[in-house]
Amino acid sequence: MNNVFVYCEIDEGQIADVSLELLTKGRSLANTLGCKLEAVVLGHALKGIEKEIAPYGVDVIHVADDQRLFPYLTLPHSSILVQLFQEEKPQIALFGASVIGRDLAPRVSSALKSGLTADCTSLIIGDHYDKKTDTNYENLLYQIRPAFGGNIIATIINPDHRPQLATVREGVMKKEIYDPAYKTKVRTLDPKNYLSETDFAVSIIERHIEDRKINIKNGQIIIAGGYGVGSKENFRLLFDLAEVIGAEVGGSRAAVDAGFVEHERQIGQTGITVRPKLYIACGISGQIQHRAGMDQSAQIISINTDINAPINRIADYTIVGDVADVIPKMIQYYKENSK
């Protein structure tokens, strides 16, 4: 009772990275609260799955293994979670802010009439005093996220309802093994006790999932372009530089929206979070939503025609100039000076 729960997503037969990241966060929240960390895994052919999860410091793993639970469908997964949460009464439940998590968590939140905060960038435990009712709340989950187009940072709480529900995007939290030999308890759920025929009203007819071909999350050097790059053609320059120095290419939301670069490369609060050793921001103004996805980069170079662009304030180097002039020179001088 009153533990921290993480819903674990299955991706290509393994626990998704975002879920492992949440387990790491969940472990630290559970340590602060002095409670247990529990994981929920719903899918098919899950034998041995606990070995993947336990090292993250998971005390209890709830597993429902049934061929109808994979691929993911909204209704069966939400029916199991809602009933399980009613039985186990978690104080906190975390979901990845993925297509699955963003489909599932609101449904669960509505059924349990408890609040949900989407796309949190930070989760911490804190107290709250409500003046109106003169009530002191201890150990609430502060759900912190940028809001209003990233122009404000909001701290959201859920004082009177449980579980406190939050989603977090992949890459926002760090995944870290807690103890390779951590002792866990596996609890097998019998799907029959949780599901009815009406949960299978929606059926999957076809599914095409591509392998991850773009993997910028773990890139050591990232060159990212914004709206200021100006065109899809100019974006080619970023790829040229990337090839020469061995980097990945990303884009801001504005660049993705403008069609300069694929959605899979979007960096920021509603995209991927990266922590490279070098981040080269090309024509990116640097709204907080973008910075939320890259401000932990070890070094930042900003190339921008506007010396007052907000991104320059977190940059180690600011090159005042046009991307189309600067990048070819970077390529040239890298080639001349390397080796």
Beta strands 164-168 and 116-117 are: parallel
**Distance from C-alpha of 50 to C-alpha of 59, rounded to nearest angstrom:** 10
Considering only residues 237 to 256 of the shown chain, the ones binding other proteins according to CB under 8 A are 245-246, 254
Closest separation between CB of residue 170 and other proteins, Å?
9
**Distance from C-alpha of 54 to C-alpha of 17, rounded to nearest angstrom:** 14
Closest separation between CB of residue 311 and other proteins, Å?
9
Based on the shown chain and the rule CB under 8 A, indicate whether residue 236 belongs to the binding site for other proteins. Answer: no
Helix or strand holding residue 255 (H, E): helix 253-257
Based on the shown chain and the rule CB under 8 A, indicate whether residue 333 belongs to the binding site for other proteins. Answer: yes
Retrieve residue 179's tokens: 């103890």
Based on the shown chain and the rule CB under 8 A, indicate whether residue 83 belongs to the binding site for other proteins. Answer: no
Whichever of 63 and 327 has its CB closer to other proteins, that residue is 327
Retrieve residue 10's tokens: 């299955």
Considering only residues 182 to 201 of the shown chain, the ones binding other proteins according to CB under 8 A are 201
Q: Which of 34, 51, 131, 149 binds other proteins (CB under 8 A)?
A: 149
- Contacts of range 290-299, beta carbons closer than 8 Å, 24 or more positions apart: 290/150, 290/226, 290/252, 290/253, 292/121, 292/146, 292/150, 292/268, 293/171, 293/267, 293/268, 293/269, 294/222, 294/224, 294/267, 294/268, 297/222
**Distance from C-alpha of 188 to C-alpha of 210, rounded to nearest angstrom:** 31
* 16-55 footprint of other proteins as x/- string (CB under 8 A): ----------------------------------------
* 283-322 footprint of other proteins as x/- string (CB under 8 A): ----xx----------x-xx----x--x-xxxxxxxxxxx
Q: How many angstroms from the chain centroid is the CA of residue 193?
A: 32
Q: Which of 152, 179, 185, 232 binds other proteins (CB under 8 A)?
A: 152
Whichever of 54 and 309 has its CB closer to other proteins, that residue is 309
Based on the shown chain and the rule CB under 8 A, indicate whether residue 10 belongs to the binding site for other proteins. Answer: no
Which region among 21-29, 105-113, 174-182, 231-239 touches other proteins (by CB under 8 A)? 105-113
